[in-house]
Structure 1
Amino acid sequence: MDITVSEACRSLQARGALRRSSRDEAEGVIQQVRERLGGRMPADLEALYREQVASIGDFAAILPEWRERPEWRREGSVGLLLHADAVPIFSDGCGNFYGLDLASGDQRPAVYFFDSEDMFERPHWAAGSSLARFLLLLAEHDQALDEGRPPGWELSIDPDIDKCPRAPAIWHAG
């Protein structure tokens, strides 16, 4: 059984790695995003919005602001990944995005890294086999770099990350 977005968020909050937005605009945001995506909205994305995640460590969440008209905190960011059938959910702070896959159909959507250098043309590598597993990996990212963990350390948190269909795991991405 896989971990849920809510369980991952509770775990990260207990560790002090998650910061939440102080405003509860989840219902309006969910309605806006569902409309923007033409009615298709993965349950994990809805769960993320309900959790009101503002950041995990130094990684800022990309969340729409509830307004009469839809607006995104990172101007135009949702449109930057729609051509690649994804929704941006986190920024790496360098102009790149982590995006939730919209092409997964009935499967639980994976999270992929999209690079600004190629105008977010395609997913470059798998960042998580599910949104919940991605959140846990994101919280470990900087520590893993500092510790010099070997390629594939992600498998200890996300045993399915190397099975994502649209892009390889980071250690195979080259």
Structure 2
Amino acid sequence: MRIPVAEAARRLEDRGLLKRERTDHSARIIEHVRKLLGRELPSDLIEFYRERIAQVGEFYAMTPGWNDHVGWRSPDSLVTELLHANAVPLFGDGCGSIYGLDLTPNVEIPAVYFFDHERGYEEAEWAAGSSLGAFLLVLGDSDRARDEEWPPRWELKIDPDIEKCPRAPALWLAG
């Protein structure tokens, strides 16, 4: 289910769940990531960087940081950590694992997957969102869902296509 990143960001911001970078370095970041990955970027990823998303709830975005005085503040590996698995990092889970956007060529709407640090980020473990916008909305509710003990598969109300992601199953199907 494609939910535009800008729409998801607006909805999360209205709920007080989204923080943005103060300064807009998105054009510089987009070009930097394009060079590091050696390919054109999916439109959702470009939109993600243009929205200057720094944090959703308690989850911090893994976006390259630029400083006008010293240049790039983040190592290139921040962007290339999942390149071997054909993905680009979006958010850390706070415990070392990464949510990454699929970079498989010719995928019209790339999904977001969870990559486990305990497995060396070898491959996508489970689908976290059928599109980047849908993923952002699921991520925004994930802490609340856990705290309030929402029923299993609550994510389907936000992202009904999450079980259709091609590279890995939804969490409840991952075993």
Relative to structure 1, the CA distance from residue 133 to residue 143 in structure 2 (aligned partners, 3 Å threshold; closer, same or farther) is: same
- Partner residue, 1:101: 102
Separation (CA, whole Å) in 2 of partners of 1:140 and 1:71: 32
Contact 1:126 1:162 in 2 (8 A): yes
Written as runs of structure 1 = structure 2, the 5 A alignment for 1:14-53 is 14-53=14-53
Counterparts of 1:21-170 in structure 2, within 5 Å, are 21-66=21-66, 71=72, 73=74, 76-170=77-171
Cα deviation 1:50-105 (Å, max 9, x = unaligned): 00000000000000123699847466232220000000000111111000000152
TM-score, length-normalised on structure 2?
A: 0.93
- Residue 25 of structure 1 aligns to which amino acid in structure 2? H
Unpaired runs of at least 5, structure 1: none
Question: What's the TM-score, normalizing by structure 1?
Answer: 0.93
Larger deviation, residues 70-79 vs 4-13: 70-79
Whether the 8 Å contact between 1:72 and 1:78 is mirrored in structure 2 is no
Question: Which stretch of the first structure deviates more once superposed, 98-107 or 15-24?
Answer: 98-107
Q: CA deviation at 1:39?
A: 2.7
Residue 85 of structure 2 aligns to a residue whose secondary structure is coil
Partner Cα distance (1:61, 1:55) in 2: 5
CA contact (8 A) 1:87 1:102 kept: yes
Q: Distance in 1 between matches of 2:10 and 2:166?
A: 28
Select the structure with the greater relative contact order (CA < 8 A; seq sep ≥ 6).
2
Aligned CA-pair RMSD = 1.9
